[in-house]
Homo-oligomer: A and B are copies of this chain.
Amino acid sequence: MARPIVLGVAGDSGSGKTTLTRGLIRVMGDESVTRISADDYHRYERRERRAIGITPLHPDANHLDVLTQHLTHLRRGEPVLKPRYDHRDGSLGRPEYVRPGRFLVIEGLLNFHTERLRTAHDIRVFLAPPEDLRRAWKLKRDCTRRSYTTDEVLHELDLRERDAARYIRPQRAHADIVVAFGPSATADPSHLDAEVLLRDTLPHPDLSPLLGSDRNGPTLEQRERDLVLRIPGSIEPEHAAELEEAVWARMSFANHLRVHRLGEFTAGTDLHRSDSLALVQLLVLYQLVWARATSISGHRPEREQPPAITGADSALHV
């Protein structure tokens, strides 16, 4: 029996964790994925945190030992009785019986805080948007879906800054993939630039042929042992489609997943699509399907050769 593959998506509150994973889960299929919010492992209710004077970003405000224990069980294919934190009113409730699907997607604030937690994941993604953008995202989300006032959110952000600097942001050092979405030069809010750090802790698809001459095309930079991929928000849709095609070609055994388009996100209640988000999701999906294939076969199969790509941008092989 192949064991479940564990994807961890860590980052500060409002950094876009759910936006990244929602598209992935949609593609992999609800029935295949068990999605867990590590916020469920909060030790205190919202009112208790206020009384104690602790932020949810502090390790002591979370049952990280229990999270580690549960991830270990789920990764072995065993069920757990998962606690539940309700973001609508900040309360802890009756726990929930969870059986792991083929994939586990764990979003959280402190997923990579300890070595034991880090090794409980197969794929570690850290989201590191610029602080200005994250504050704007968090404000919009918390006021529309978590019944906070704008004053409360801004006050919370200030209170949390110390713990964010101390406990959240240092986790970026332990991720296989670090993603920073940022505002692009274009006026369209759905055109976000993406800077993606691909660490050599995982075998990423060979992106070197991407280094095209197109002014609006993606760029790739070697930074010591890692690679930095920059996808401009202004990328031509045709370029983006070809890039996607090339990554899909590297995992043709997973082509049955190509039912839904990646890249969707909401701003408030408006639905948008972003090519850079789609590409980032695809690079994570690539890791998931390869980890799964490795888990099934018992060894990492040879990476498939990309098929020939025809057309104007044939330089953009992945």
A binding-site residues for B, Cβ under 8 Å: 43, 63, 65-66, 69, 73, 78-81, 83, 91-95, 97
Closest residue on chain B to residue A92 by CB atoms: B94
A73 vs B73: C-alpha distance when bound (angstroms): 11
Residues of chain B within 8 A (CB-CB) of A73 are 69
Instruction: Verify A94–B97 contact, CB threshold 8 A.
Output: no
State which of B43, B63, B78, B92 has its C-beta within 8 Å of the C-beta of A69. B78
Residues of chain B within 8 A (CB-CB) of A63 are 81, 97
Residues of chain B within 8 A (CB-CB) of A79 are 65-66
State which of B43, B66, B81 has its C-beta within 8 Å of the C-beta of A83. B81
A78 vs B94: C-alpha distance when bound (angstroms): 22
A97 vs B42: C-alpha distance when bound (angstroms): 11
Number of copies of this chain in the oligomer? 2
Instruction: Verify B97–A43 contact, CB threshold 8 A.
Output: yes
Q: What are 11 inter-chain pairs, A to B, with CB distance below 8 A?
A: A65-B78, A66-B81, A69-B73, A69-B78, A81-B81, A81-B83, A83-B94, A92-B94, A92-B95, A93-B94, A95-B95
Closest residue on chain B to residue A79 by CB atoms: B65
Closest residue on chain B to residue A45 by CB atoms: B94
* Residue of A65, A73, A78, A94 ringed by the most chain B CB atoms within 10 A: A94
A56 vs B282: C-alpha distance when bound (angstroms): 47
Residues of chain B within 8 A (CB-CB) of A92 are 94-95
Instruction: Verify A66–B80 contact, CB threshold 8 A.
Output: yes
Residues of chain B within 8 A (CB-CB) of A78 are 65, 69
Residues of chain B within 8 A (CB-CB) of A81 are 63, 66, 81, 83, 95
A69 vs B77: C-alpha distance when bound (angstroms): 13
Residues of chain B within 8 A (CB-CB) of A66 are 79-81, 97
Closest-CB distance, A210 to chain B (whole angstroms): 46
A95 vs B83: C-alpha distance when bound (angstroms): 7
Closest residue on chain B to residue A97 by CB atoms: B63
A66 vs B69: C-alpha distance when bound (angstroms): 12
Given contacts A63-B97, A81-B83, 13 further A-B contacts (CB under 8 A): A65-B78, A65-B79, A66-B79, A66-B81, A66-B97, A69-B78, A69-B80, A81-B95, A91-B94, A92-B94, A93-B94, A94-B94, A95-B95
A78 vs B73: C-alpha distance when bound (angstroms): 14
Residues of chain B within 8 A (CB-CB) of A83 are 81, 94-95
Residues of chain B within 8 A (CB-CB) of A93 are 93-94
Closest-CB distance, A51 to chain B (whole angstroms): 16
Residues of chain B within 8 A (CB-CB) of A80 are 66, 69
